[in-house]
């Protein structure tokens, strides 16, 4: 080892470079994987009604990955014509409290939900789910519709 001190130095430099640059290489690959094979995707959304501040919808989505991706939370964004997003809340109109259940892969009917507040300038709504997959947080769109 001490006969060739530069080989040790070279090995240390390679190790440091790998540690420093591996995340910048791995992250685009995992992002591409998540776009190519999303955790979940929308199947259908039916708008059942709308008033001044809320929208009533029924959401059906497909979960493509199994229980290796655990549901953390889900939420809605209202989007105006300029693309600006505002966070909205999802509640069950029947008052039933929903707990984040991690399902196996397959199609799911989430039932009827109220999305509020919805500004009069909003042109579309996107419902997103946030999953924890193998040490990473992954977002997936489970509903998207025009209003």
The tens place of each residue's pLDDT in the chain, 147 residues long, gives 556 667 777 777 777 877 777 667 777 888 888 888 899 999 988 888 888 889 999 999 999 998 899 999 989 999 998 999 999 999 888 877 766 677 889 999 988 999 999 888 889 999 999 999 988 999 999 999 998
What is the model's pTM? Answer: 0.78
Domain boundaries, the chain: 1-36, 39-146
Quote the pLDDT of residue 22. 65
Domain 39-146's class? mainly beta
63 neighbors 106 (Cβ within 8 angstroms):
yes
pLDDT for res 142: 94
């Amino acid at each position: 080892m001490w006969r060739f001190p530069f080989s040790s130095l070279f090995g240390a430099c390679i190790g440091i470079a790998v540690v420093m640059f591996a995340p910048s290489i791995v992250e685009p690959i995992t992002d591409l994987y998540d776009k190519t094979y999303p955790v979940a995707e929308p199947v259908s959304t039916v708008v059942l009604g709308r008033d001044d501040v809320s929208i009533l919808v029924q959401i059906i989505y497909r979960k493509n990955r199994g229980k290796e991706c655990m549901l953390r939370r889900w939420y809605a964004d209202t989007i105006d014509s300029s693309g600006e997003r505002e966070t909205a809340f999802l509640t069950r109109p029947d008052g039933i409290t929903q707990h984040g259940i991690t399902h196996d892969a397959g199609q799911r009917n989430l039932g009827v939900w109220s999305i509020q507040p919805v500004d009069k300038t909003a042109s579309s709504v996107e419902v997103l789910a946030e999953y924890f997959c193998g040490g990473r947080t992954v977002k997936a769109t489970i509903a998207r519709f025009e209003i």
